[in-house]
Structure 1
Amino acid sequence: MMDLLGPVEIRSLAEKLDLRPTKKLGQNFVIDGGTVRRIVRVAEVEADDVVIEVGPGLGSLTLALLGAARHVVAVEIDPVLAGQLPVTVAARGLGDRLTVVEADALKLTPTHLSGYLPTALVANLPYNVAVPVVLHLLEVLPSLRKGLVMVQSEVADRLAAGPGSKVYGVPSVKAAWYADVRRAGPVGRTVFWPVPNVDSGLVAFTRREPPTTTATRRQVFAVIDAAFAQRRKTLRAALSGWAGSPARAEEALRAAGVDPSARGEQIDVEAFARIAENTPSQPPA
């Protein structure tokens, strides 16, 4: 069985690196071997997978992934951690299966990845950037077929929410453009160091084709943003700025088969795509 990092090893490494976990970088390190094994199991990582891990930190989850996947591409923004991770992995004889990319995941492109095409995203994501990181990677890495991320519990709820839910919103609809998303279980606070003051949860996704539409992703996302900018308004009112007037918004909604008196939280991504197909031309000046 893979020699994983426990609480003693984590604190020893942190002391060696003079590391003080920062809230700014969302650094809460997993210190429980059972939790990282569970993540790898629930993520259904297979022997031929190339896994991209964002924010590997000191390597708790990385080591468990290396024991299951063909290769791991670890994206770490902290230069000290990015420098230490290959040392930790090499000490266990797995250095040839790890590529460390020192970069901001929000600016990551395929050119950063040394020719690897990740098939799975598995990560304990910094909670302050979890949603934009997931959406960005799904956009720029079409090779991603599946994933499992650990995020703040409320963020997990929002990502996995369906129409009609109180927490259904922009993250829910945009994630649904790329994938089927579901909650995959809670995570206790005590598996982290330092212990966070929020609950965590696992979110799994499976890539699917986006809705069939003549609209571009950018056009669909513009409608989604407009619809939720003023949640309490009807779509007729919320989309009036996007369309140019309430009347033009109603015209686009009716053409899409959507009730103009509905609200954004009531409709699915396919409906947003139909609305975007009716993107109005700019009214004459």
Structure 2
Amino acid sequence: MVSLLGPAEIRELAARLGVTPTKKFGQNFVHDPNTVRRIVAAAGVGADDVALEVGPGLGSLTLALLPVVGHVHAIEIDPVLAGALPETAARYADAAKLTVHSADALRITAADLGEPAPTALVANLPYNVAVPVVLHLLAELPSLRRGLVMVQKEVADRLVAAPGSKIYGVPSVKLAWYASSRSAGKVPPSVFWPVPNVDSGLVAFTRREPPRADVPRKAVFAVVDAAFAQRRKTLRAALAGWAGGADRAAEALVAAGVDPGARGESLTVEQFAAIAASAPQAATGNQ
């Protein structure tokens, strides 16, 4: 079994690198080996997988992934941490299976990563960019078939929320466009350094085909954004700006089989796609 980083190793490595966790990069380093083993096990990855890790930090999760998967692409925005990760991997595991990308995950492309193409996103995501990162990577990397991410518990709950829930919203619908998702457990603050003031949650997802192939994703997302911009409004009112008027919005809703008096939090991703498809000119104008 590969050695993993505990509290003493994390502090020693950070001190040697002159690293202090920063809010700017959303850095909270995991120092509990059992937690990273749990994440890798829950991700269900194996030797045929190519893992994509975002925000590896000092390498806790990276070291747990390397013995299990075929390759790890690690995206790290902090240049000091990105530069140190290969050496840490070499000390504890097989560094030949690791490619480190010193980059912003929100700007990464499939061409930037190269081969082998990632098949699974497994990451302890920075809290402040978790949702945009997941959505960007699913859009940019069609090779990603599934994932397990650790995010703030509140964000995890929103990502997996079902229609009709009070916390169902834009993140819920947009993730549902790409994948089916579920909660995979809770992680306490005590496993991090520094200790955050919130719990973390694990979200597992499996990619699926989009609900409809005849309407662009951007068109659907434009409807979703408009529907939730003012949650208390009916869809007839909320989509007025998107459709070019409340009456036109009502026409699009009726054509899609949706009650104009309904609210966005009651709709499935399939219904949002139907609305976008029912008013192609309005949708195209908002891309």
TM-score by length of 1: 0.98
Whole-angstrom CA distance in 2 between matches of 1:115 and 1:50: 10
Gaps of 5+ in 2: 283-287
Determine the structure 1 residue equivalent to 2:87.
87
1:55 maps to 2:55: yes
Which deviations, in whole Å up to 9, do the C-alpha atoms of 1:19-63 show, x marking residues without a partner?
A: 110011110000000000000000001111000000000000000
Determine the structure 2 residue equivalent to 1:260.
260
User: Which residue identity is paired with 1:72?
Assistant: V
Whole-angstrom CA distance in 1 between matches of 2:85 and 2:228: 41
Q: Is the 8 A contact 1:240 1:246 kept in 2?
A: yes
Secondary structure, aligned partner of 1:53: strand
Whole-angstrom CA distance in 2 between matches of 1:93 and 1:171: 36
Q: CA deviation at 1:111?
A: 1.3
Whole-angstrom CA distance in 2 between matches of 1:107 and 1:131: 14
Determine the structure 2 residue equivalent to 1:111.
111
Q: Is the 8 A contact 1:213 1:274 kept in 2?
A: no
Determine the structure 1 residue equivalent to 2:193.
193
Determine the structure 2 residue equivalent to 1:157.
157
Whole-angstrom CA distance in 1 between matches of 2:209 and 2:159: 18
Whole-angstrom CA distance in 2 between matches of 1:278 and 1:266: 19
User: Which residue identity is paired with 1:90?
Assistant: A
Determine the structure 2 residue equivalent to 1:251.
251
Determine the structure 1 residue equivalent to 2:143.
143
Q: CA deviation at 1:219?
A: 0.3
Whole-angstrom CA distance in 2 between matches of 1:247 and 1:14: 60
Whole-angstrom CA distance in 1 between matches of 2:201 and 2:169: 18
User: Which residue identity is paired with 2:87?
Assistant: V
1:74 maps to 2:77: no
Q: Is the 8 A contact 1:17 1:80 kept in 2?
A: yes
Whole-angstrom CA distance in 1 between matches of 2:164 and 2:281: 31
Q: Is the 8 A contact 2:120 2:144 kept in 1?
A: yes
Equivalent pairs, count: 282
Q: Is the 8 A contact 2:180 2:205 kept in 1?
A: yes
Q: CA deviation at 1:214?
A: 1.8
Which deviations, in whole Å up to 9, do the C-alpha atoms of 1:135-169 show, x marking residues without a partner?
A: 00000000001100000000000100010010000
Q: Is the 8 A contact 1:51 1:120 kept in 2?
A: yes
Q: Is the 8 A contact 2:54 2:76 kept in 1?
A: yes
Determine the structure 1 residue equivalent to 2:42.
42
Determine the structure 1 residue equivalent to 2:237.
237
User: Which residue identity is paired with 2:54?
Assistant: V
Query: Cα RMSD (Å) of the superposition?
Result: 0.9
Gaps of 5+ in 1: none
Secondary structure, aligned partner of 1:237: helix
1:180 maps to 2:208: no
Determine the structure 2 residue equivalent to 1:5.
5
Range 88-97 or range 21-30, more displaced = 88-97
Whole-angstrom CA distance in 1 between matches of 2:281 and 2:91: 61
